[in-house]
């Protein structure tokens, strides 16, 4: 810096969204529409004794909820900002003083998280464009699987070839499998030769890993003394700590093919005992924090899920542009990159990419103090993760480098094992004041919130080349189960000690509080949506109107709010890079999540409050068999198993279908089209839209014959429920 000390040139810049005014005026107009709807409901409540009084009051309740929730969603749209980094300035100023970075990769089950995928992620992060002696990669294996260990060992050998190759040819992406899959045009002869030989080496390694995997055990355990650690292993939930430093980066002998230093590589399977609850990923992360502190102690910790390989070798430098910025860096606790997925199909059938959250909402959160921590693709300051409070004006110096030398690897391994033992955390603040928080299925969000509540800010960085790419669910059931975990966890945060609604109030910006509530209230949304997807249709069946007549002026605010919001959401979706069919799929998923995942999450949370249900974490599968993959690529909804969630969405779809059929019968007998249009237009429209959006579901219920269609048991249950609801309703009310 020297003479330029006074003229501070930042390492990143922040830009406001351009079309703010337009958006704000639009939002104001929708708000007026919502208020008019409320007024209409309030002054037209049927008198007691009149038809539909209670239904009407229910509609009013649902619309108050929708309006309130709409208001919350404005917070993540109101103040969007975008960030840009200047990595060149970073290297000019700090190349020699770059901090050590510890990278944590978590895996938990070799069956749904294949070892070959895990090591591709590991290799991609070992190959970051960053001084290797400052990089350490830790793999936490909650399955304690020797298959995963064997694969990691293979990766440690392969890295000696892979890392120099990446450097020499500036390879992107640096996950071998992703690189070989991407169409790489190699023109010059030398490169072609190197390409062929590295590819061969990779395939040989892949083959060894796959063969071992098929075998279910490692055949040649003599190859590495590390396998001896499995001698006392009795099961995945009952074993000692297994800790091995596979590459000791501080050893001058640890060099790759080209003679460059290698990053440190560590395998850790923390101790598991049936009588000790292990706190899922949060427990794994906390063990890693402790163990890594004694090995490399990097002041920056980055963590990824095992399927989220690095797609951009520059990401560490991008993150450091924020954390090392002289002007604002000291306020920042973490830098969150978006979650992006490799296997998204064109029209994103399951709305996996969460496009609008990524391209809009998180930019909005950033405008009010920073995004949520979403568990992967995030760079933290170690000290903050370990509970350091924010004190205005003080800076954490991450440049200071203490080269730690590991004298005796085995002695160190033995000494550090106890840090990952079940009892280590007893009577400590781990999981509470220190490290990731326990007791919540979304350990990430609650941890980020508590960090922000201490005064820290965070940053959302969404570069044009995705920083990480993961595997998104390929069946409807997977996606619904995942959303159940998330919405349940988020609701628990709202009810927890760290609730954004009270604990964080005043500690973080009110806009950010509202932003958090967007997600924390996902699950309670189910009530209003269920009401809206059942009651108006049943009343349609009886011919009782619950909306204003088309000729009434009160019809206008309804029409305006419905049309304007849908056009707006479609535009937002398209501008975020989606397709129109993608938007339509997104609407369907919106409905399915709200009427199944969120409902089940809501019920489970209530049960948990009453003490009837305990904490679960269903690990998302990262593999799917051929049949399923094929349908996924063709964007055909995958059912195939019977699940109460499917019964729920099918019953609703059928109920709406029966109601519409019912009204068509009445139209044929005594009702005139004109009176239907005048009095029941909106109700018919609502019911019609439910049916349109459910067309692929009817197909799966009654017509499809493939393995992904709806199981007969679900079909019959759903028909039964839907018909009973219609009949009971017509007879009893």
Ligand X SMILES: O=c1ccn([C@@H]2O[C@H](COP(=O)(O)OP(=O)(O)O[C@H]3O[C@H](CO)[C@@H](O)[C@H](O)[C@H]3O)[C@@H](O)[C@H]2O)c(=O)[nH]1
Size of the site for ligand X (CB under 6 A): 24
Sorted by sequence, the CB contacts under 8 Å of residue 278 that are 6+ apart come out as: 142, 270, 272, 284, 422
Q: Of 108-137, which residues contact ligand X (CB under 6 A)?
A: 108, 113
Q: Of 431-460, which residues contact ligand X (CB under 6 A)?
A: 441-442, 444
What residue has token string 């103040």?
A: 79
Active site residue 142: yes
Return the C-alpha torsion angle 89, 92, 97, 98, nearest 10: 50
**Whole-number minimum distance, CB 443 to ligand X, in Å?**
6
Please tell me the distance from the alpha carbon of residue 193 to that of residue 280, in angstroms, as a whole number: 45
Q: Of 269-328, which residues contact Mn ion (CB under 5 A)?
A: 305
DSSP 432: T
CA distances (Å), 727 to each of 151, 343, 655, 732, in order? 59, 44, 11, 8
Please tell me the distance from the alpha carbon of residue 43 to that of residue 585, in angstroms, as a whole number: 37
User: Does 402 carry a binding-site annotation?
Assistant: no
Evaluate whether 271 touches 241 at the Cβ level (below 8 Å). yes
Question: Which residue among the candidates 141, 142, 256, 604 is catalytic per the annotation?
Answer: 142
Would you count residue 483 as binding ligand X (CB under 6 A)? Answer: no
Would you count residue 534 as binding ligand X (CB under 6 A)? Answer: no
Q: Of 489-528, which residues contact ligand X (CB under 6 A)?
A: 489
Neighbours of 515 (CB within 10 A): 31
**Whole-number minimum distance, CB 336 to ligand X, in Å?**
11
213 interacts with, out of Mn ion, ligand X, none, CB within 5 to 8 A per kind: none
142 interacts with, out of ligand X, Mn ion, none, CB within 5 to 8 A per kind: ligand X
Would you count residue 343 as binding ligand X (CB under 6 A)? Answer: no
Sequence-ordered alpha helix ranges (H) in 216-297: 280-295
Evaluate whether 369 touches 508 at the Cβ level (below 8 Å). yes
Please tell me the distance from the alpha carbon of residue 573 to that of residue 95, in angstroms, as a whole number: 40
Size of the site for Mn ion (CB under 5 A): 2
Residue 238: beta bridge partners?
Answer: 235
132 interacts with, out of ligand X, Mn ion, none, CB within 5 to 8 A per kind: none
Question: Which residue among the candidates 256, 366, 444, 604 is catalytic per the annotation?
Answer: 444
Closest-by-Cβ residue to ligand X is 375
Would you count residue 121 as binding Mn ion (CB under 5 A)? Answer: no
Helix, strand, coil shares of the chain as percentages rounded to 5? 55, 10, 35
**Whole-number minimum distance, CB 596 to ligand X, in Å?**
16
| Closer residue to Mn ion in complex, CB, 264/340 | 340
What residue has token string 């009795």?
A: 234
Which among 616, 545, 594, 725 has a CA at the least distance from the CA of 52? 545
User: Does 281 carry a binding-site annotation?
Assistant: yes
586 interacts with, out of Mn ion, ligand X, none, CB within 5 to 8 A per kind: none
What residue has token string 């102690």?
A: 297
Please tell me the distance from the alpha carbon of residue 121 to that of residue 141, in angstroms, as a whole number: 14
| Closer residue to ligand X in complex, CB, 109/251 | 109
Please tell me the distance from the alpha carbon of residue 705 to that of residue 696, in angstroms, as a whole number: 13
User: Does 210 carry a binding-site annotation?
Assistant: no
Residue 634: is it exposed, middle or buried by C-beta count within 10 angstroms (0-12/13-18/19+)?
exposed
- Contact with ligand X (CB under 6 A): which of 63, 142, 146, 638? 142
441 interacts with, out of Mn ion, ligand X, none, CB within 5 to 8 A per kind: ligand X
Please tell me the distance from the alpha carbon of residue 409 to that of residue 343, in angstroms, as a whole number: 40
Q: Of 224-263, which residues contact ligand X (CB under 6 A)?
A: none
| Closer residue to ligand X in complex, CB, 145/513 | 145
| Closer residue to Mn ion in complex, CB, 154/305 | 305
CA distances (Å), 523 to each of 486, 498, 585, 598, 713, in order? 9, 18, 20, 4, 27
**Whole-number minimum distance, CB 649 to Mn ion, in Å?**
23
**Whole-number minimum distance, CB 220 to Mn ion, in Å?**
32
176 interacts with, out of Mn ion, ligand X, none, CB within 5 to 8 A per kind: none
Evaluate whether 162 touches 265 at the Cβ level (below 8 Å). no
φ, ψ for residue 362, nearest 5 deg: -70, -30
The three-point CA angle 329-331-333 to 5° equals: 90
**Whole-number minimum distance, CB 108 to Mn ion, in Å?**
10
Sorted by sequence, the CB contacts under 8 Å of residue 401 that are 6+ apart come out as: 97, 99, 100, 134
Q: Choose the binding region for ligand X from 4-12, 91-99, 101-109, 533-541 (rule: CB under 6 A).
A: 101-109
Mask for 620-649, x = binds ligand X (CB under 6 A): x-----------------------------
**Whole-number minimum distance, CB 482 to ligand X, in Å?**
5
Would you count residue 620 as binding Mn ion (CB under 5 A)? Answer: yes
**Whole-number minimum distance, CB 615 to ligand X, in Å?**
11
What residue has token string 């009149």?
A: 50
| Closer residue to Mn ion in complex, CB, 569/621 | 621
Q: Coil, helix or strand for 474? A: coil
Q: Coil, helix or strand for 643? A: coil
Would you count residue 353 as binding Mn ion (CB under 5 A)? Answer: no
Evaluate whether 269 touches 239 at the Cβ level (below 8 Å). yes
**Are β-strands 101-107 and 135-141 bridged in parallel, bridged antiparallel, or unpaired?**
parallel
User: Does 626 carry a binding-site annotation?
Assistant: no
| Closer residue to ligand X in complex, CB, 63/142 | 142
- Contact with ligand X (CB under 6 A): which of 149, 280, 456, 522? 280
| Closer residue to ligand X in complex, CB, 278/509 | 278
| Closer residue to ligand X in complex, CB, 213/650 | 213
**Binding-site residue set for UDP-alpha-D-glucose:** 113, 142
Active site residues: 142, 444
Positions touching ligand X (CB under 6 A) are: 106-108, 113, 140, 142, 280-281, 284, 305-306, 374-376, 441-442, 444, 482, 485-486, 489, 617, 619-620
Positions touching Mn ion (CB under 5 A) are: 305, 620
């Amino acid at each position: 810096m020297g003479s330029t000390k006074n003229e501070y040139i930042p390492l990143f810049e922040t830009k406001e969204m351009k079309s703010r005014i337009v958006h704000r005026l639009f939002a104001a107009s929708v708000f007026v529409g919502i208020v008019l709807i409320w007024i209409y409901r309030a002054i037209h409540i049927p008198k007691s004794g009149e038809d539909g009084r209670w239904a009407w009051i229910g509609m009013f309740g649902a619309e108050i909820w929708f309006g309130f929730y709409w208001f919350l969603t404005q917070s993540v749209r109101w103040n969007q900002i975008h960030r840009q980094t200047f990595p060149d300035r970073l290297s000019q100023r700090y190349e020699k003083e770059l901090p050590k970075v510890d990278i944590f990769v978590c895996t938990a089950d070799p069956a749904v998280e294949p070892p070959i995928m895990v090591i591709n992620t590991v290799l991609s992060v070992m190959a970051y464009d960053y001084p290797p002696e400052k990089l350490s990669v830790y793999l936490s294996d909650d399955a304690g699987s020797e298959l995963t260990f064997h694969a990691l060992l293979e990766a440690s050998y392969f890295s000696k070839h892979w890392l120099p190759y990446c450097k020499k040819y500036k390879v992107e992406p640096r996950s071998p499998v992703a690189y070989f899959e991407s169409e790489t045009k190699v023109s010059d002869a030398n490169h072609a030769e190197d390409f062929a030989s590295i590819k061969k080496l990779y395939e040989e390694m892949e083959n060894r890993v796959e063969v071992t995997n098929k075998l279910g055990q490692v055949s040649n355990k003599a190859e590495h003394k590390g396998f001896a650690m499995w001698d006392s292993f009795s099961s995945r939930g009952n074993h000692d700590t297994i800790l091995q430093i596979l590459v000791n980066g501080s050893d001058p002998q640890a060099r790759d093919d080209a003679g460059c230093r290698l990053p440190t590589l560590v395998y850790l399977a923390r101790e598991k005992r049936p009588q000790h609850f292990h706190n899922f990923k949060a427990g794994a992360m906390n063990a890693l924090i402790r163990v890594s502190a004694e090995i490399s102690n990097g002041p920056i910790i980055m963590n990824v899920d095992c399927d989220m390989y690095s797609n951009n070798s520059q990401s560490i430098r991008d993150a450091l542009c924020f954390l090392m910025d002289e002007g604002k860096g000291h306020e920042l606790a973490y830098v969150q990159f978006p979650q992006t997925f490799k296997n998204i199909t064109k029209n994103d059938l399951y709305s996996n990419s969460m496009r609008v959250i990524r391209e809009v909402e998180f930019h909005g959160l950033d405008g009010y103090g920073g995004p949520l921590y979403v568990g992967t693709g995030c760079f933290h300051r170690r000290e903050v993760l370990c509970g350091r409070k924010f004190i205005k004006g003080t800076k954490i110096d991450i440049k200071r480098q203490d080269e730690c030398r590991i004298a005796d690897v085995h002695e160190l391994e033995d000494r550090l094992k106890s840090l990952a033992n079940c009892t280590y955390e007893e009577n400590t603040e781990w999981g509470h004041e220190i490290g990731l928080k326990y007791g919540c299925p979304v350990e990430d969000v609650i941890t980020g919130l508590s960090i922000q509540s201490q005064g820290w800010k965070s940053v959302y960085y969404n570069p044009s080349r995705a920083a990480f790419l993961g595997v998104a669910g390929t069946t409807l059931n997977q996606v619904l189960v995942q959303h159940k975990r998330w919405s349940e966890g988020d609701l628990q945060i709202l009810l927890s000690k760290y609730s954004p609604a009270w604990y964080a109030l005043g500690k973080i910006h009110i806009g950010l509080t509202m932003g958090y509530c967007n997600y924390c209230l996902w699950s309670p949304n189910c009530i209003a949506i269920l009401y809206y997807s059942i009651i108006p249709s049943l009343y349609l069946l009886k011919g009782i109107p619950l909306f204003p007549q088309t000729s009434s002026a009160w019809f206008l605010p309804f029409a305006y709010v419905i049309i304007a919001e849908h056009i707006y959401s479609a535009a937002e979706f398209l501008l975020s890079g989606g397709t129109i069919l993608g938007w339509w799929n997104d609407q369907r998923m919106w409905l399915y999540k709200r009427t199944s995942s969120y409902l089940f999450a809501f019920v489970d949370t209530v049960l948990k409050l009453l003490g009837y249900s305990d904490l679960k974490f269903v690990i998302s599968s990262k593999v799917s068999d051929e049949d399923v993959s094929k349908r996924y690529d063709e964007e055909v909804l995958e059912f195939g198993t019977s699940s109460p969630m499917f019964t729920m969405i099918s019953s609703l779809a059928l109920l709406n279908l029966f109601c519409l059929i019912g009204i068509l019968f009445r139209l044929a007998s005594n009702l005139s089209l004109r009176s239907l249009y005048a009095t029941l237009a909106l109700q018919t429209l609502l019911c019609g839209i439910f049916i349109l959006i459910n067309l692929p579901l009817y197909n799966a219920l009654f017509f499809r014959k493939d393995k992904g269609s709806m199981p007969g048991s679900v079909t019959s249950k759903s028909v039964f429920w839907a018909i009973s609801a219609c009949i009971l309703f017509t007879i009893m009310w």
